[in-house]
C-alpha cells in the first residue's frame, strides 16, 4: 500500500491506495496552520502499513534534492506555512520514503499515466482555481529545472475592456492576478458560480487563458492540454479559449482539433491525489 497527500490551500486530501491508482481510503482535512493540520495527517497514515508517501503540494516548494531546504514550502503568503519543512515532518513521523512535487505536477503525472493524456509522454495540466498553476510532463518526465515551473504568474496582454487592477500579491496583474477564481469574484462582484449567465465574464476569462496556452504551446509544445480547477467547471470558457487561441496563433502552429487537444481532466477531481500515489511509488523504488 502507498500513501498520498494532496496538499491544498483550503484542504488536504490524504489517501491510501496502490500503484494502479486505486484508492481504498481517503479523508479530507482543513488546511489551517501546520501545527493543527499535520498531526491529523500523521494520525491518518499511522493506521496503515504503507511503503512510501507521495506529496503533491501547493507551492512554491523546494524540490531540489541537493538544496539544504529541500522538502520545504517556500514563499507562500499562507500563515504558518512559509519555510515549513513538509517532507521532514512526514518522514520523521512515519519513517517511509517520501516523494515531493507540486500539486499540479502530480496531477500532470496522474493524467499522463491514467487520465486524458494516458499513453502520451507529454502533457500539460493547468488548474484555474484559487490560484493558477501548471505542471508538465515533458519527454516522459515531470518538468523540473532550477525549481518547478510557475506558469500561473506569466504576464498577459490586457483585454481591451478590462479595467480590473489584478489580485496577485506578488505581481498584481499577472495571469493568476487577472484570471483565478478570486480575481473573477473581485472584478465582477460575485462568485464565478453565480456568473454563469454573464457572457462577458467568460469571454474575458477565455481571452487570458488562451494567451497563456499560446505561450505554453510555443515554449513546450505539449501533446495534450488538460484544464482543471473550480473555475473550469464553467465549460462555456472552453469555447472562448478555442476562439481566442485560434485568433492569437493565426494558423502558425499545426494543432489537433482543439476540442480534443484542450480538454477537462480524465480523472476529474482525482488527478492530484492519484498523481501523488505515483510520486509515492517512485519514492519507494528509489530509496
Ligand atoms: P482550490 O484552487 O482552492 O484547490 P478550486 O479549484 O475549487 O479550489 O478553486 C476555487 C475557486 O474556484 C474559487 O475562487 C471559486 O469561486 C471558483 N469556483 C469553484 N467552483 C466553481 C464553479 N462551479 N464555477 C465557477 N467558479 C468556481
Ligand atoms: Zn503573480
CATH (domain of 78): 3.30.420.40
CA distance 287 to 283: 6
The range of the structural domain enclosing residue 26 comes to: 2-105+269-285
Q: Which atom in ligand 1 lies closest to the alpha carbon of residue 128?
A: 6
β-bridge pairing 23-30 and 11-17: antiparallel
Is the distance from CB of 268 to CB of 17 less than 8 angstroms?
Answer: no
Reference 203, options 240, 166, 151; nearest CA is 240
Residues contacting ligand 1 via CB (< 6 Å): 8-10, 129-130, 181-182, 185, 191-193, 229-231, 233-234
Q: Does residue 259 share a domain with residue 278?
A: no
Mean pLDDT of 40-55: 98
The pLDDT of residue 76 is 87
The pLDDT of residue 287 is 67
Other beta carbons within 10 Å of 287: 11
pTM: 0.96
Is the distance from CB of 134 to CB of 88 less than 8 angstroms?
Answer: no
Q: How far is the CA of 169 from the centre of ligand 2 (A)?
A: 7
Query: 259 phi and psi, to 5 degrees?
Result: -70, -15
Q: Does residue 96 share a domain with residue 208?
A: no
Q: Is the dihedral of CA 168, 170, 174, 175 positive or negative?
A: negative
Closest ligand to Cα 178: 2
Reference 211, options 182, 243, 180; nearest CA is 243
Q: 3-class SS at 75?
A: coil
The per-residue pLDDT for range 113-149, each reduced to its tens digit, is 999 999 999 999 999 999 999 999 999 999 999 999 9
- Give domain status of residue 110, yes or no: no
Q: 3-class SS at 281?
A: helix
Q: Strand pairing partners for 125?
A: 135, 226
- Give domain status of residue 195, yes or no: yes
Q: Does residue 163 share a domain with residue 28?
A: no
Q: Does residue 138 share a domain with residue 88?
A: no
Report how many domains make up the chain: 2
The pLDDT of residue 77 is 84
Share of the chain above pLDDT 90, in %: 97
- Give domain status of residue 111, yes or no: no
Q: Which atom in ligand 1 lies closest to the alpha carbon of residue 184?
A: 14
Mean pLDDT of 160-189: 97
Q: Does residue 90 share a domain with residue 161?
A: no
Residue with cell string 513521523: 93
Residue nearest to atom 13 of ligand 1 (CA): 181
Amino acid at each position: 500500500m502507498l500513501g498520498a497527500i494532496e496538499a491544498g490551500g483550503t484542504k488536504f486530501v490524504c489517501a491510501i491506495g496502490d500503484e494502479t491508482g486505486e484508492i481504498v481510503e481517503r479523508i479530507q482535512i482543513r488546511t489551517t496552520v501546520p501545527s493543527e493540520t499535520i498531526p491529523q495527517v500523521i494520525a491518518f497514515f499511522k493506521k496503515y502499513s504503507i511503503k512510501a508517501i507521495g506529496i503533491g503540494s501547493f507551492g512554491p516548494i523546494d524540490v531540489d534534492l541537493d538544496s539544504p531546504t529541500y522538502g520545504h514550502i517556500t514563499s507562500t503568503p499562507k500563515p504558518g506555512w512559509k519555510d515549513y519543512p513538509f517532507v521532514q515532518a512526514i518522514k520523521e513521523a512515519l519513517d517511509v520514503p517520501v516523494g515531493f512535487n507540486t500539486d499540479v505536477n502530480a496531477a500532470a503525472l496522474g493524467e499522463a499515466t491514467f487520465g486524458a493524456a494516458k499513453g502520451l509522454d507529454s502533457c500539460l495540466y493547468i488548474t484555474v482555481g484559487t490560484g493558477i498553476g501548471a505542471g508538465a510532463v515533458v519527454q516522459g518526465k515531470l518538468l523540473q529545472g532550477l525549481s518547478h515551473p510557475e506558469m500561473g504568474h506569466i504576464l498577459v496582454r490586457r483585454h481591451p475592456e478590462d479595467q480590473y487592477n489584478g489580485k496577485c500579491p506578488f505581481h498584481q496583474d499577472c495571469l493568476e492576478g487577472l484570471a483565478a477564481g478570486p480575481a473573477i469574484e473581485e472584478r465582477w462582484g460575485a462568485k464565478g458560480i453565480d456568473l454563469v449567465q454573464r457572457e462577458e465574464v467568460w469571454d474575458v476569462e477565455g481571452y487570458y487563458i488562451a494567451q497563456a496556452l499560446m505561450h505554453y504551446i510555443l515554449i513546450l509544445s505539449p501533446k495534450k492540454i488538460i484544464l482543471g480547477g473550480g473555475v473550469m467547471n464553467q465549460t462555456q470558457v472552453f469555447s472562448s479559449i478555442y476562439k481566442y487561441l485560434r485568433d492569437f496563433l493565426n494558423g502558425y502552429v499545426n494543432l489537433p482539433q482543439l476540442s480534443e487537444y484542450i480538454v477537462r481532466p480524465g480523472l476529474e477531481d482525482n488527478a492530484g491525489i492519484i498523481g501523488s500515489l505515483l510520486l509515492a511509488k517512485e519514492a519507494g523504488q528509489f530509496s
